[in-house]
Amino acid sequence: MIKHVIAIALVSSPVLAQEKVNAQIEDYYYTVYDRVPETKRICETVQVPVYGVERRQTNGADVLGGMIIGGILGKGLTGKDNGAAAGAVIGGIAAAETNKTKSVVTGYRQEQQCHNEETYRNVERRQYDYSVLQFTLDGTKYELLFNKEGM
């Protein structure tokens, strides 16, 4: 609340010309809360796996299994022994090739990862509401409400 003191000299009639009127104005405000967006950067250290390649020796059991399955498929598709032999060779080669390497986790390294997070905060501000003019004239107190913004 803000107070203004005003001295008003009434000159509308000769009788009142000498009388002074003391008046004061009080301004009234209310509080408004505005939601203001705010971006925060959040960072944290995380463990990230490190991958390496593990070489694996092809063993005889893998190759033999590929040959048997290839032979059965070759005989079933062609109906001939030549198809079974070709299927066995292709199955053995395929089994030997698929088992050569494999990706494995060899360790971990620390890495900082960051992201933005949108948050809001309340900001307080005063908003003008209205004013009151109070004065005394001839022993009588008067009060007048008004809005300065509407003037």
Q: What pLDDT sits at residue 90?
A: 73
Nearest by Cα to 58 from 87, 85, 103, 94: 94
What are the average pLDDT values for consecutive 10-residue runs of the chain, which has 151 residues?
Answer: 47 51 90 95 94 72 69 70 69 66 86 95 94 88 87 62
Nearest by Cα to 135 from 8, 15, 2: 8
Q: What pLDDT sits at residue 19?
A: 63
> Residue 150 has which token pair?
């509407």
pLDDT tens column, 7-51: 444 434 444 445 677 889 999 999 999 999 999 999 999 999 998
Q: What's the pTM value of the predicted model, to 2 decimals?
A: 0.39
- Cβ-Cβ contacts under 8 Å for 54 (sequence gap 6 or more): 101, 102, 103, 104
CA angle at residue 148 from 147 to 150, to 5 degrees?
A: 70
